Amino acid sequence: MRKFLLHIIIILIGLIYLGRLFYLQVYDTSYANLSKNNAVKTVYEYPQRGNIFDRNGKLLVSNQPSYDVMVIPRELKPFDTLEFCSLLGITKEKLKKQLKKARNYSTRLQYVVVPQLSKNEYAFLQEKMHKYEGFYIQKRSLRNYKTKSAANVLGYIAEVNDRILRKDDSYQSGDLIGMQGVEKQYEDYLRGKKGVRYYQKDRFNREIGPYLDGKLDTLAVKGKDIKLSIDIDLQTYGEMLMQNKRGGIVAIEPKTGELLALVTAPSFAPELLVGRKRSPNFTKLYYDTIAKPLYDRGLLAEYPPGSPFKTLNALIALQEGVITPQQRFGCSNGYYYGVRGRKMGCHPHPSPLNLPYATAVSCNSYFAQTYRKIIENEATPQEGIDNWRNHLKSFGLGGFLGYDLPAGKRGKIPSAKYYDAIYPSKRWKGITTLSNAIGQGEVLCTPIQLANMTAAIANRGYFYTPHVAKAIDGNYLKEEKYTEKKQTTIDSIHFEPVIDGMHKVFTNGTASFLQVPGIDICGKTGTAENFTKIDGKRTQLTDHSIFVAFAPKDDPKIALAVFVENGYWGARYAGRIASLMIEKYLRGDISITYIEDWVLSHSLEEEYNKPLSGEPFSINQ
Amino acid sequence: MISKSSLGAVDWLSILFYIFLLVFGWINIYSTTYDPSQISSLFDISQLHGKQALFIALSFALGLIIMATDAKFFERFSSIIYILSVLLLLGLFPLGKTISGATSWYAIGSFTIQPSEFAKIGTALALAKFISDIQTDLKQITSLGYVALIIALPALLILAQPDAGSAMIFAAFLFPLYREGLTGYILFILFAVASLFIATLFFGVQRVVVGLFVLGIFVYYFLRKQRGILLFLISGFLAMAGYCYSVNFVFHNVFKQHHRDRFNIVLGKTKDTQGIGYNTNQSEIAIGNGRWFGRGWTEGSQTQGNFVPEQHTDYIFSAAGEEWGFVGSLLFVTAFLGLCLRVLYLSERQKSQFARVYGYSVASILFLHFLVNIGMVIGLLPTVGIPLPFLSYGGSSLWAFSMLLFVFLKMDTDRNKR
């Protein structure tokens, strides 16, 4: 024992120490990470964000350099305050205040003293910067907007928030990230790759050279350019037409599903959300809860679709074989139904009418009877509604379309379950839901859904998922989602009589005064009743003006939906705007200038102020 | 001069370990002072690594001189060497130079020398001489009194400098004493005192006393047949419990604040990575950064950023751990403890008791330095400022440890000449 005690202790201690070393060096990786925080300074080089172009290659969004004057308080040395202030163009008091704030924030971390100097200011300052220890310049890249429209499509970039920082470790505090629209949707492509350089620090936090001789350093990679399918001229024109109105225009190229224009009104100039003025401007826009300029009505507003919905009921009826195109239904200023003799009103027009003419004059009675036949074709109203609903869903209604913008609403196409819940006795019938025949009642659509449905009609039975990006980095979008035809449940032969009817809307019907000479437009007017609550009381407002159209009839190049809130009737505002948009897109200039003048000179502001006035008001004047 | 025949009798394995440790130490010192902006010659005397190279060369010279000296010289002159060591320690009080609070150095120009490092050799020689005396019996109280005197005299002088760390190393002589017949009770009591001290600080008095009580009941259950066991256990328990209650008093009233801090850091009672715990924390980070194979020579970010204070002296192992990883650590631990075990093995084969006791002392001193220094660097023991033999920067310690080792290797070489 006496001989071996020390041997045993030596070996035991050796094993204990090796165990501890194994724990420190191999098992517990946190020490290695700590060392990195400790001894390695990471400097990021910010890449330029990708440019954004319109479908014709016009530059919409590029970058502008901007220079922040930063300070690290504990590295400050005494300096010539007067000269520095005059270089920065600030007062001594301001500088003192900023330095105090910086110290309160942290003495070791960088803080912005003067944000976003222009290139010229920077050039002047740059030469003298070395005299001011503790100050340095951080270069950032800001957006430079070449257009005043399409703010809702483009989105904006802003400093990444804490929630994203916690979730995604590829962002550091102060990084810029796309917050809405294309900037958000295509963030991964647009942002590029940050360059990173590591510096070895000593214990006084001084850089003493590149870490590992710069072996791990990477260069910044510029973000990828994106070409949008938006036609910026059409977009700008649409926004101009929508001035002093509220609503949205969604225009789609039916052959591809590409969005040509996505107008929401009121909107704002995208440059409002750049740089130093972003924050106050955003607050102003955000708190405008009446006009809601940040709310993209084209994607988010769920309106009753009104009469354009009749075209779908007609198509379903034809597909189900419950009507024929030439079959006529009577109308006696409306349609009387039910045991208590309820009436769905209509306006004066010749009667009875076949499908094309009923479409042209938008006969409520005709479509009420058509709708009844669809629902009552099945054994129970439940089956009837669900069958009807399945047809509508194939047009992309009642659900997300799957387009490439980060905002959307489902809209609503009621199901049998929905009515069963409202009428627990389940003794509801087809006529209980008769408002659906004319796009009122329980049906809700967003403008983009309605535009997509119009594109499906224009294509005679199919559509492509709408999308706003055409090419990324010069490569056209190849995702199956956007290149695969979505077939509707309606056979293509059934479309001709409906399209004929939509054509007659312009030749003989509700939009005959909106014809564009030389262009065969097919369309459908819509007028939708709507309500709001004033002091808790359900109050009817002036009807929405709705219009869907596509053109030319035989080779559709554009399909669109126009919603103008409280525009009274379909052809009044929405129809006019639709015709102007179609001519603008197909011809480039406007021949129907009298219509353009009318739209530009009419404002709905007065209408929008009515419910806010607190006074009693009359509607539909 | 060294004869050809004695060359073959030198224990080359020990020399191999020794050279490995010196080289390993030197490359790590080079790395801690490495500055890529001004690459200097490996042996630039104005740099620390250049000076250390010089110290190493002088160590080899010392080694050669010792190997050329007659082994009998050290036995014969052991008392004189011991007295000389003590005089040098005494001389520090009027003549010594004070560096960071301790008067431990003689300064000749810019050159300093630390006699406490050399005092270990003198004490080891004197102890070996005394124990090997035919009249010494470690079971007798008078012999034990002389032994205590031999060890305590230099230790107390060093403690008065004050340099508690170096003084503590004299506890290493307990191992050769035990080997030569000192009763095991002393070792056991010292062990119990130390572990009860730590346990009381860590768990608190109540829990330790309750634990001791439960342990006593178990011991009684197994040994209840023995006569007088109950009385023995009760008195033992009372003594230990009383000691435990005194621990807090000693800790809070006898210890100085920096001693308390060091204990609290290691016991995890204080979390402080910036002030008092900074060294240990940075050292652990550096070692942890090594992972399996290390960051590579002069590539350790902690080492190159000079985050670990005193990294070229007491904390030299943190640089080794970072730049050579677990594999390098394993190699080092194997080499160092291998040397200790080799010296122990060589001691056991000595024919003279003098050489055996001396060899045992050498191994014990080296091992205790390792235990305390590495334990501190890897955060297992409180901070005690003593160098890591053969690796830490510094001429005094390097020469002292080299002489300590070579004197024994010379004895081993000549072991058959008597």
Per-residue pLDDT tens for A166-208? 787 777 766 788 988 999 999 999 988 888 787 777 666 667 6
Q: How far apart are CA B286 and CA B31, in angstroms?
A: 13
Q: Reduced to 3 states, what is the DSSP secondary structure of residue A556?
A: coil
Quick one: A339 and A190 in the same domain? no
Domains of chain A: total:
2
Q: What was the pLDDT predicted at A34? A: 67
A588 phi-psi bin (left φ>0, alpha ψ -120 to 50, beta other): left
Measured between beta carbons, the chain A residues lying within 8 angstroms of B333 are 14, 17-18, 21
Quick one: A66 and A202 in the same domain? yes
Chain B: nearest CA to A37, how far in angstroms? 10
Quick one: B212 and B328 in the same domain? no
Share of chain A above pLDDT 90, in %: 46
Residues whose CB is less than 8 angstroms from the CB of residue A99 and which lie 6 or more positions away in sequence, other chains included: A71, A73, A76, A113
Question: Best residue in B173, B182, B318, B337 to probe A by mutation, most A CBs within 10 Å?
Answer: B337
* Edge-to-edge order in the sheet of strand A195-201: A40-45, A195-201, A207-210
Tell whether A28 is within 8 A of chain B (Cβ): yes
**pLDDT interval class at A263 (50, 70, 90):** very high
Q: Is position B330 within any domain? A: yes
Helix spans in B98-183 (H): 115-132, 141-159, 164-168, 174-179
Closest CB to A212: pick one of B299, B305, B380: B299
Q: How far apart are CA A262 and CA A284, in angstroms?
A: 23
Residue A276, judged by CB atoms within 10 A of its CB (0-12, 13-18, 19+), counts as exposed
pLDDT digits (tens, 9 = 90+) for A124-151: 888 888 888 888 887 778 889 999 999 9
Of B233, B254, B275, which residue sits at a domain end? Answer: B254
Measured between beta carbons, the chain B residues lying within 8 angstroms of A18 are 329-330, 333
Quick one: A243 and A220 in the same domain? no
Chain B: nearest CA to A6, how far in angstroms? 7
The pair of three-digit structure tokens given for residue B299, joined into one six-digit string? 């590539």
Q: How far apart are CA A260 and CA A240, in angstroms?
A: 16
Q: What was the pLDDT predicted at B271? A: 64
Quick one: B11 and B127 in the same domain? yes
Higher pLDDT, B403 or B379: B403
Measured between beta carbons, the chain B residues lying within 8 angstroms of A35 are 285-286, 288-289, 301-302, 322
Q: How far apart are CA B373 and CA B377, in angstroms?
A: 6
Q: What was the pLDDT predicted at B1? A: 47
Quick one: B209 and B247 in the same domain? yes
- By the 8 A CB rule, do A198 and A212 touch? yes
The residue-averaged pLDDT of A364-389 equals 92
Q: What was the pLDDT predicted at A486? A: 92
Measured between beta carbons, the chain A residues lying within 8 angstroms of B37 are 209
Q: How far apart are CA B142 and CA A3, in angstroms?
A: 24
Distance linking the first and last C-alpha atoms of chain A: 113
Q: Is position B345 within any domain? A: yes
**pLDDT interval class at A459 (50, 70, 90):** very high
Quick one: B288 and B330 in the same domain? yes
Q: Reduced to 3 states, what is the DSSP secondary structure of residue B252?
A: helix
Of B238, B254, B270, which residue sits at a domain end? Answer: B254
Quick one: B339 and B364 in the same domain? yes
Q: Do B341 and A40 touch (CB under 8 A)?
A: no
Quick one: A212 and A252 in the same domain? no
Identity of the highest mean pLDDT range in A81-95, A162-176, A480-494: A480-494
The pair of three-digit structure tokens given for residue A598, joined into one six-digit string? 């009318």
Higher pLDDT, B212 or B331: B331
Q: What was the pLDDT predicted at A555? A: 93
Q: Do B179 and A2 touch (CB under 8 A)?
A: yes
Structural domain harbouring A141: 41-72+84-228
pLDDT digits (tens, 9 = 90+) for A401-435: 989 998 899 999 999 999 999 888 888 888 888 89
Q: Is the pLDDT of residue B259 over 80?
A: no
Q: Do A38 and B299 touch (CB under 8 A)?
A: no
Closest CB to A32: pick one of B289, B305, B306: B289
Q: Is position A15 within any domain? A: no
Q: Do B348 and A5 touch (CB under 8 A)?
A: no
Q: Do B305 and A7 touch (CB under 8 A)?
A: no
Identity of the highest mean pLDDT range in A524-538, A592-606, B276-290, B298-312: A592-606
Of A170, A205, A228, which residue sits at a domain end? Answer: A228
Interface subset of A 4-23, CB within 8 angstroms of B: 5-7, 9-11, 13-14, 16-18, 20-22
Quick one: A222 and A269 in the same domain? no
Domains of chain B: total:
2
- By the 8 A CB rule, do B342 and B17 touch? yes
- By the 8 A CB rule, do A66 and A141 touch? yes
The pair of three-digit structure tokens given for residue A210, joined into one six-digit string? 């590149």
Q: Is the pLDDT of residue A117 over 90?
A: no
- By the 8 A CB rule, do A414 and A439 touch? no
Name the residue type at position B223. L
Quick one: A137 and A190 in the same domain? yes
Quick one: B60 and B147 in the same domain? yes
Of A164, A199, A228, which residue sits at a domain end? Answer: A228
Q: Is position A27 within any domain? A: no
Q: What was the pLDDT predicted at B235? A: 87
Quick one: B314 and B366 in the same domain? yes
Q: Is position B352 within any domain? A: yes
Question: Residue A127 — φ and ψ, nearest 5°?
Answer: -65, -30
Q: Do B333 and A26 touch (CB under 8 A)?
A: no
Interface subset of A 170-229, CB within 8 angstroms of B: 200-203, 208-209, 211-212
The whole-angstrom distance between residue B148's C-alpha and the CA centroid of its chain comes to 19
Comparing CA positions, the residue from B334, B329, B333 lying closest to residue B289 is B329
Q: Do B321 and A5 touch (CB under 8 A)?
A: no
Q: Is position A8 within any domain? A: no
> Half-sphere exposure of residue A183, counting CA atoms within 13 Å on the CB side?
25
Q: Is the pLDDT of residue B37 over 70?
A: no
Measured between beta carbons, the chain A residues lying within 8 angstroms of B379 are 20
Q: Do A18 and B305 touch (CB under 8 A)?
A: no
Lowest pLDDT segment from A5-9, A170-174, A342-346: A170-174
Q: How far apart are CA A352 and CA A366, in angstroms?
A: 8
Residue B3, judged by CB atoms within 10 A of its CB (0-12, 13-18, 19+), counts as exposed
Lowest pLDDT segment from A185-194, A198-207, A497-506, A540-549: A198-207
Name the residue type at position A243. Q
pTM: 0.64
Across B318-346, b (16+ Cβ under 10 Å) vs e yields bbbbbbbbbebbbebbebbbbbbbbbbeb
Q: Does the ipTM surpass 0.85?
A: yes
Residue with tokens 């902006």: B37
Residue A326 sits at the vertex; the CA angle it makes with A321 and A328, to the nearest 5 degrees, is 95
SS3 assignment for A492-541: HHHHHHHHHHHHHHHHCCCCHHHCECCECCEEEEEEEEEEEEECCEEEEE
Closest CB to A24: pick one of B287, B305, B341: B287
pLDDT digits (tens, 9 = 90+) for B60-87: 999 999 988 888 898 899 999 999 999 9
Chain A: nearest CA to B357, how far in angstroms? 12
CATH number of the domain to which A263 belongs: 3.40.710.10
Quick one: B9 and B63 in the same domain? yes
Tell whether A487 is within 8 A of chain B (Cβ): no
Residues whose CB is less than 8 angstroms from the CB of residue B12 and which lie 6 or more positions away in sequence, other chains included: none
Name the residue type at position A230. I
Quick one: A205 and A353 in the same domain? no
Q: Do A14 and B333 touch (CB under 8 A)?
A: yes
Q: What was the pLDDT predicted at B257? A: 77
Tell whether B289 is within 8 A of chain A (Cβ): yes
Quick one: A431 and A565 in the same domain? yes
Name the residue type at position B340. C
Closest CB to B302: pick one of A22, A35, A212: A35
Across chain A, mean pLDDT equals: 88
Q: What was the pLDDT predicted at B39? A: 65
Closest CB to B301: pick one of A6, A26, A35: A35
Share of chain B above pLDDT 90, in %: 28
The whole-angstrom distance between residue A370's C-alpha and the CA centroid of its chain comes to 36
Quick one: B17 and B103 in the same domain? yes
- By the 8 A CB rule, do A206 and A108 touch? no
Q: Is position A3 within any domain? A: no
Quick one: B307 and B236 in the same domain? no
Q: Cis link prior to B162 (omega < 30° from 0)?
A: yes
Lowest pLDDT segment from A55-69, B40-54, B126-140: B40-54
A568 phi-psi bin (left φ>0, alpha ψ -120 to 50, beta other): left
Give the CA dihedral B230, B236, B240, B245, nearest 10 degrees. Answer: 70
Helix spans in B349-394 (H): 353-377
pLDDT digits (tens, 9 = 90+) for B3-23: 555 666 888 899 999 999 999
Q: Is position B418 within any domain? A: no
Residue with tokens 């607190």: A614
Residues whose CB is less than 8 angstroms from the CB of residue A621 and which lie 6 or more positions away in sequence, other chains included: A542, A568
Q: Reduced to 3 states, what is the DSSP secondary structure of residue A249?
A: strand
B340 → chain A, closest CA residue? A10
Q: Do B175 and A18 touch (CB under 8 A)?
A: no
Q: Is position B115 within any domain? A: yes
- By the 8 A CB rule, do A216 and A48 touch? no
Chain B: nearest CA to A207, how far in angstroms? 9
Strands A342-345 and A334-337: antiparallel
Quick one: A303 and A411 in the same domain? yes
Structural domain harbouring B339: 4-182+261-413
Tell whether B380 is within 8 A of chain A (Cβ): yes
The pair of three-digit structure tokens given for residue B59, joined into one six-digit string? 């160590």
Quick one: B224 and B346 in the same domain? no
Q: Is position B187 within any domain? A: no
Q: Is the pLDDT of residue A118 over 90?
A: no
Q: Is position B223 within any domain? A: yes
Closest CB to A10: pick one of B289, B292, B367: B367
Of A173, A196, A228, which residue sits at a domain end? Answer: A228
- By the 8 A CB rule, do A342 and A305 touch? no
Question: Residue A42 — φ and ψ, nearest 5°?
Answer: -105, 125
Of B205, B226, B254, which residue sits at a domain end? Answer: B254
Q: Do A36 and B301 touch (CB under 8 A)?
A: yes
Comparing CA positions, the residue from B174, B63, B11 lying closest to residue A6 is B174
Across A567-577, b (16+ Cβ under 10 Å) vs e yields bbbbbbbbbbb
CATH number of the domain to which A134 belongs: 3.90.1310.10
Lowest pLDDT segment from A208-222, A534-548, B209-223, B387-401: A208-222
Q: Do B367 and A7 touch (CB under 8 A)?
A: no
Q: Do A31 and B341 touch (CB under 8 A)?
A: no
Neighbours of A77 (CB within 10 A): 9
CB pairs under 8 A between A and B: 124
Quick one: A451 and A392 in the same domain? yes
Quick one: B58 and B100 in the same domain? yes
Q: Is the pLDDT of residue A465 over 70?
A: yes
Quick one: A291 and A145 in the same domain? no
- By the 8 A CB rule, do B307 and B273 touch? no
Quick one: A238 and A221 in the same domain? no
Q: How far apart are CA A53 and CA A529, in angstroms?
A: 39
Q: What was the pLDDT predicted at A38? A: 63
Q: Is position B360 within any domain? A: yes
B294 → chain A, closest CA residue? A25
Residue A123 sits at the vertex; the CA angle it makes with A119 and A124, to the nearest 5 degrees, is 125
